Amino acid sequence: MMKYFIYAIAAIHLGCSTSLGEETGFDRQLPAPDSIHIRGQMGEKSKKLKEFFKSGNFKQFYGYSNTVLSELNAMRRHGTMTREEACDMLWSLYLISGAPMYEAPDYDSVQPWPYKDERNNDIAAKSRVISALSIMDTKQMSHNLGIHEQRLKHLHAAYAAAIIKRLKSLHLPDFGKKETALKDEIIRSHPANPDGNVIGTHPSDYSNLLRIGNLNYFSMRNSMYHSYVSKIMEKRFIPMLVKYFPDQAGEVVKYIRKAGYGDGEVLDLIDRTAGYNSKTAYLYQGKSGEEHRKKLQRKQSGE
C-alpha cells in the first residue's frame, strides 16, 4: 500500500502521460519513466520542455529539444552523470519521443506554412533521440537511476519503436505522382503569363506561389520521413535491439512490430541493418528464418 501511495504522489507531481496525450496529441501508448519506478523527479530541462509542450509552442519545443540532446551527448562523452541529471534526461527523452510532429504543410492553403524556417527540427530531434539511446551506457545509467538495467532497456526500445512508427505512418510512398498532378492543377488554374512564368503580379499569382511552396514543403518532409527512417533510425534501432536482447528473438521481433513493421518485413529489415552474422543468427532460426537465409545466400551468390 505504501509503495502504491508513493508512486501515486510521484505521478501527480510529475504529471502523467495521459493528460499530455489528451491535450496535445502526445503518444499515450508511450510508457513514462515513472512506470519503471525511477527514483527522482523532473529536472530543469524536462520541466522547460514540458512548459513549451503544454503551451503548444512546438517551434521552441523542438529548438530546445536539440539543445538538450547536444548536452546529453556532451555528458555521455565526459562519462559523468548524476542521478538527478540522468532522471532529467530520461524525462526529456520521453517528452521528445512522444511529442507530435509539426503540423503538415497544407498545399490547399494560401497561408504560408508556419514552420518553414524550422524545416526538419522535429524530425532531426526524433532521430537524435534514437541515436542517443543506441549508444547510451545502460549499465551506468541504470545504476545512476537505481533501477534494474533490463527495465531501462525495454523503456529505450519502446521509445525508439514509437518514434519510427510515427514517422512511418506519416510517410506517403506514392506521393510523388500526386505531387505532379497537384502542381499541374495549380498551373492550369491560372494560365501562364506571356513570358511563360506562372507567377506574375496579380494577387492570384501570389496565391499560386504560396500553394506551390506549401506543396514543396509537404513533399520535402514526406521524403525526409522515409530517408531518416531508412538511412539513420533503422540502422541504430536494430543493432540496439540485438545488443539489448541477445538470444531473445521474441523480444527483438516484438519491438520491430511495435515500430510498425509487418511479419513479412522483419527479416528484410534485419538484413539491411545488422545483417546475418554470429550475433544475429538467432533471429534466423526456425523454418521461415532458414528459408530466408538460403534465399539471401542465393541472392548474394548471383543465382
Q: pLDDT tens-digit profile of 136-166? A: 999 999 998 989 999 999 999 999 999 999 9
Give the residue among 224, 217, 223, 242 at the shortest CA–CA distance from 125: 224
pLDDT given for residue 8 in this prediction: 38
Angstrom distance (rounded) from CA 40 to CA 33? 10
The more confidently predicted of residues 128 and 203 is 128
Query: How confident is the model at residue 302, as a pLDDT?
Result: 66
Distance CA 224, CA 242 (A): 26
- pLDDT at position 1 is 40
What sign does the dihedral 46-93-58-125 (CA atoms) show? positive
Rounded to two decimals, the pTM is: 0.87
Least confident of 82-91, 204-213, 267-276: 204-213
CB 156 within 8 A of CB 163: no
145, 152 in Cβ contact below 8 A?
A: yes
C-alpha closest to that of 158 among 14, 68, 55, 35: 35
3-state helix, strand, coil in the chain (%, to 5): 70, 0, 30
Measure the CA–CA gap between 274 and 280, rounded to whole angstroms.
7
End-to-end CA, the chain: 65
pLDDT at 109: 86
Q: 162 is written with which cell numbers? A: 514509437
Show Cβ contacts of residue 263 under 8 Å, excluding neighbours closer than 6 positions: 257
Query: Would you give the DSSP letter of residue 69?
Result: H
pLDDT tens digits, 80-120: 788 999 999 999 999 999 999 999 999 888 889 999 898 89
> Any idea which of 33-47, 134-148, 235-249 has the lowest mean pLDDT?
33-47
Q: Name the pLDDT band for 18 (thresholds 50, 70, 90).
A: very low
The residue-averaged pLDDT of 180-206 equals: 65
